[in-house]
Amino acid sequence: MGLAYAQAMVAKRRQLWLGSMVLGVCVLFSGHIAEISFSKFFDNIGAFTSYIGRISHLENGQWVVSDPIEWFWGWKKWLPLLGQTLLMAYVGTLLGALGAFTFCFFASKNVTASQGVVFVTRRLLEFLRTVPELVFALIFVVAFSLGPLPGILALAIHTTGALGKLFAEVVENADMKPVEGIIAAGGSWLHKVRFAVLPQVASNFASYALLRFEINVRGAAVLGFVGAGGIGQTLLEVIRKFYYADISALLVLIIGTVMVIDTVTEKIRHRLIGQSVAS
Amino acid sequence: MNKHEELRQRFSLKFQPFYYGHLRAIAIALVATALFFYGLLSLEMTFARIMGGIGELGRMVVLMLPPDPGTWTRTAIYLYAMLETLAIALLGTFTAAIVAFPLGFLAARNTTVNRVIQFFARRSFDTLRGVDILIWALIWINVVGLGPFAGVLALAMSDLGIFGKLFSEAIEAADERPVEGILSTGGSSVAVVRFGILPQLLPVLLSQVLYAFESNTRSASIIGIVGAGGIGSILSEQIRTVEFQQLSFVILLIWATVSLIDLGCARLRFAIIGARAL
């Protein structure tokens, strides 16, 4: 008994050491490849703090919060852009959710009989969510020209992949008894989906879609970096041109909006999930 | 007949042609659809533009086939850039995890030294998380210059916000009983953390770190677009120079790498926490 315990402990220790060594070697190797330089970091860390200092002061040297009107001088230009960003996230999420909704039933083993269809759909969804949305945006900007349209399509495509997987998991976890009931009553495939599966999964679908909307708002805010619309373009411009006070103003606007949206969607999501548990 | 009446009584709400819930659902759907079409209009998503774009996209896809890196030297460059991407992801995740570990205890209700510190730790994590990785990358480029080091720092900043939140939540969710056991035998607060909380915590944290590493591989492959190292710089360069065959090769390379990392992390996670869900 004692011996077995000691042996188990030794094996565990050895595993831990081996794991740490492998990690250590990887970290050192990565440090070499990523050109990590502590001297560069500590020499320039002052630049970081002074950067934070500069973005929190206005042109005239005053602390930004002392004069909010001067700080947010461009609000007439920025608020519509912020609205556009939100709208992009909304339309992109909705389109993506519709795509995911269409695909998810074909990616679930319990409602689609053909293994081949399930396999192909899953690989497709995987590809859509593995390739970062900014990569899609880069390509779409060339095909659809600059503006919010390529951004929305990039968001929609990535959302289809991400939500498709989550939706399919929800469908696979659905209770199969109603499905059997529909089959017994002679229902078609569509009847199965509409009357047996959908009522069980709808609230979960909505909850995941809202979560994705949150993520897409963040995503839409930087799509402008590659020319795909929204507030990102302006943000990139002020960062590149060193309009320090504008940087902090835009960041505050974006972070504030994201936080408000997070709180609101979280409340709605709790209600949705609560409903599904109650019913 | 009798049964029908019984059902009608039990689910009286469902038998009304329109009830409050129905009306509300219809109203929500109407507003959502209206907003959607308003979005289509105001964002210039016209049918003609979409169709034209899809045609253009089709031509691009034809130009992308077959994926071809060109010469062997180019292949080596792409593979090295991919390796750099992985290095950025690993170091960013690692640094953030190391820094977030002690800070997580400060931000957790049951282990913090002071409520005020806990509050400020939480809010700082929120702020770090709220700024996108690409924005962090732009800021760090100003500090340490272009290159992968800025990418590592950007990933570390944004992950610090995520880990800080997740770690502190995991600490708060830890079982109280081992802690009480150690307190009752006269253990110090260090002993409480080491023997009461840490053994419960480590598998959860490791699994969260692995998740973050997966998503960081994705992020690290795009931060190059703003100049923070990795394969993203090659992506944007190829689009600018219209090298579509090489572009599709690089996209496939990113896809394959991210898939491999996902698979590897899933296995490791399984080995660490078993079948237990996160």
CATH number at residue A241: 1.10.3720.10
Q: Is B259 an 8 Å CB contact of chain A?
A: yes
Which of A125-129, A132-136, B11-15 comes out lowest in average pLDDT? B11-15
Count of beta carbons in the 10 Å neighbourhood of residue B176: 11
User: Is A267 a member of any domain?
Assistant: yes
Predicted local confidence at residue A37, as pLDDT: 79
Predicted local confidence at residue A279, as pLDDT: 38
Which of B6-15, B71-80, B223-232, B250-259 comes out lowest in average pLDDT? B6-15
Chain A residues within 8 A of B259 when measuring between CB atoms: 126, 130
pLDDT band at B56 (very low <50, low <70, confident <90, very high): confident
User: Is A65 a member of any domain?
Assistant: no
pLDDT, average across residues A223-252:
87
Q: Is B25 an 8 Å CB contact of chain A?
A: no
Going B241 to B242 to B245 to B250, the CA torsion angle's sign is: positive
Most A-contacting residue of B127, B251, B254 (CB-CB within 10 A), to test interface: B251
Residue numbers of the domain that contains A83: 78-278
Q: Is B40 an 8 Å CB contact of chain A?
A: yes
**Residue B226: is its pLDDT beyond 80?**
yes
Per the CB < 8 Å rule, is B130 touching A255?
Answer: yes
User: Is A92 a member of any domain?
Assistant: yes
Closest partner CB to B218 (pick from A88, A132, A138) = A132
Q: Is this prediction's pTM over 0.90?
A: no
pLDDT in tens, B170-216: 888 888 888 888 889 988 888 888 888 888 888 888 888 888 898 89
Looking at per-residue pLDDT, the higher value among B93 and B230 belongs to: B93
Chain B residues within 8 A of A37 when measuring between CB atoms: 144, 149
Q: Is A134 an 8 Å CB contact of chain B?
A: yes
Alpha-carbon distance values, A50 to A44, A132, A133, B215 (Å)? 10, 33, 33, 31
Q: Is B271 an 8 Å CB contact of chain A?
A: no
By C-alpha distance, the chain B residue nearest A37 is B149
Domains contained in chain A, number: 1
Nearest CA to CA, how far is A202 from chain B (Å)? 13
Closest partner CB to A44 (pick from B35, B144, B262) = B144
Chain B residues within 8 A of A31 when measuring between CB atoms: 87, 91
Nearest CA to CA, how far is B180 from chain A (Å)? 25
**Residue A192: is its pLDDT beyond 80?**
yes
Instruction: Pinpoint the alpha helices (H) of chain A.
Output: 2-33, 38-55, 68-71, 75-104, 115-130, 133-144, 148-172, 177-184, 189-191, 198-223, 232-240, 244-278
Going A71 to A76 to A77 to A81, the CA torsion angle's sign is: positive
Nearest CA to CA, how far is A33 from chain B (Å)? 6
pLDDT, average across residues B221-248:
86
By C-alpha distance, the chain B residue nearest A29 is B87
pLDDT, average across residues B229-250:
85
Instruction: List B residues 106-135 in contact with A (Cβ-Cβ < 8 A).
Output: 126-127, 130-132, 134-135
Tokens representing residue B189 in the block:
């607060």
Evaluate whether ipTM surpasses 0.95.
Answer: no
User: Is A271 a member of any domain?
Assistant: yes
Q: Is A130 an 8 Å CB contact of chain B?
A: yes
Query: What end-to-end distance do the CA atoms of chain A give, in Å?
Result: 51
pLDDT band at B17 (very low <50, low <70, confident <90, very high): low
- What 3-state class would DSSP assign to B161? helix
Amino acid code (one letter) for B119: F
Q: Is A16 an 8 Å CB contact of chain B?
A: no
d(CA A56, CA A260): 22
By C-alpha distance, the chain A residue nearest B38 is A87
Q: Is B101 an 8 Å CB contact of chain A?
A: no
Per the CB < 8 Å rule, is B254 touching A132?
Answer: yes
User: Is A231 a member of any domain?
Assistant: yes
Tokens representing residue B184 in the block:
């009752």
Per the CB < 8 Å rule, is A87 touching B221?
Answer: no
User: Is A27 a member of any domain?
Assistant: no
Q: Is B277 an 8 Å CB contact of chain A?
A: no
User: Is A42 a member of any domain?
Assistant: no
d(CA B2, CA A171): 36
Q: Is B265 an 8 Å CB contact of chain A?
A: no
Most B-contacting residue of A36, A84, A86, A239 (CB-CB within 10 A), to test interface: A36
By C-alpha distance, the chain B residue nearest A148 is B43
Q: Is A251 an 8 Å CB contact of chain B?
A: yes
Instruction: List A residues 71-90 in contact with B (Cβ-Cβ < 8 A).
Output: 84, 87-88, 90
User: Is A41 a member of any domain?
Assistant: no
pLDDT, average across residues B43-54:
79
Query: What end-to-end distance do the CA atoms of chain B give, in Å?
Result: 50
**Residue B13: is its pLDDT beyond 80?**
no
Per the CB < 8 Å rule, is A150 touching B53?
Answer: yes
Nearest to A250 by CA among B201, B91, B139: B139
Q: Is A15 an 8 Å CB contact of chain B?
A: no
- In this prediction, what percent of chain B has a pLDDT beyond 90? 10
Per the CB < 8 Å rule, is B148 touching A87?
Answer: no
Count of beta carbons in the 10 Å neighbourhood of residue B71: 9
